[in-house]
Amino acid sequence: MSGPWMCYPGQAFQVPALPACRPLLRLQCNGSQVPEAVLRDCCQQLAHISEWCRCGALYSMLDSMYKEHGAQEGQAGTGAFPRCRREVVKLTAASITAVCRLPIVVDASGDGAYVCKDVAAYPDA
């Protein structure tokens, strides 16, 4: 499998994944102002992850946030994102790399992008 889901061996995600990006996602999704320090902390943490693995790390973060709050697929307005539909949560998470201006690798040819399309399209996220 190639693309942003292909990570180099040994690049394990922190558990919970991207803890510094969780407040950013909650604030953005709920339409709140994001403090500069929150944005900076998330972007710095994401910058330490390989371009190949950033989208996977964002998916892992989103998945763990839902699991921690017991949200089921298709439920809106529950758990981690009380005022945010699931589709909006996914799109917001997918755009964090663009907000941070961090490139991702989108396919095996090395073509790059800034938005994690796979995170937004992933049905179980």
| CATH code, 101 | 1.10.110.10
10 within domain boundaries: no
Domain residues for 92? 20-121
Q: Can you give the pLDDT at residue 111? A: 67
104 touches 113 (CB < 8 A): yes
pLDDT over 60 at 58, yes or no: yes
Is residue 2 assigned to a domain?
Answer: no
> Is residue 98 assigned to a domain?
yes
Does residue 13 lie within any of the structural domains? no
Q: What is the pLDDT of residue 3?
A: 45
Please give the residue that has the higher pLDDT: either 105 or 110.
Answer: 105
pLDDT of residue 7 exceeding 80: no
Please list, in sequence order, all residues whose beta carbon lies within 8 angstroms of the beta carbon of residue 112, skipping any fewer than 6 positions away: 51, 103, 104, 105, 106
| Averaged pLDDT score across all residues of the chain | 77
Structural element, H or E, at residue 113: strand 112-113
Exposure on the CB side of residue 125, measured as CA atoms within 13 A: 23
pLDDT (mean) for 98-103:
92
119 pLDDT band, cuts 50/70/90, is low
Q: What is the pTM of this model?
A: 0.76
Q: How many domains does one find in the chain?
A: 1
pLDDT at 86: 82
Amino acid 24: pLDDT: 94
